[in-house]
Amino acid sequence: MAGIFEIAEAGEKAYFFKLTAPDGTVVAVSPLFNTIKGAAAGITAVRENAATGLIVDKSRSRKKPPSGNATVRSAGRRPSARRAPS
């Protein structure tokens, strides 16, 4: 079963959405939107980008990348260039 997106009110004219896993765990909570239409557009953006998004590790630890097809890129670090012997 897939996760569930729920749109909820936060005050009189503010809306947000949350993504809940099948076991009830809240996976993500959005920022506030001024309209329900804006919250729905946010859900659409998450759905379109999540499957193809890169994982960027901004933590200080240097753990192994997760298994699977995910591409992990460390933030702010570039691969070192190797010099040819002189």
**What average pLDDT values come out for the chain (86 residues) when binned by 10 residues?**
93 95 96 98 94 88 63 50 46
**Distance between CA 33 and CA 41 in Å, rounded?**
10
What is the pLDDT, as a whole number, of residue 68? 62
The answer to the question of residue 86 being in a domain is no
Of 11, 10, 46, 16, nearest in space to 31 by CA:
16
The answer to the question of residue 81 being in a domain is no
The answer to the question of residue 36 being in a domain is yes
0.75 cut: is pTM over it?
Answer: no
Q: Are 24 and 1 in contact (CB under 8 A)?
A: no
What is the pLDDT, as a whole number, of residue 51? 83
The number of residues in the chain equals: 86
Q: Which domain holds residue 41?
A: 4-74
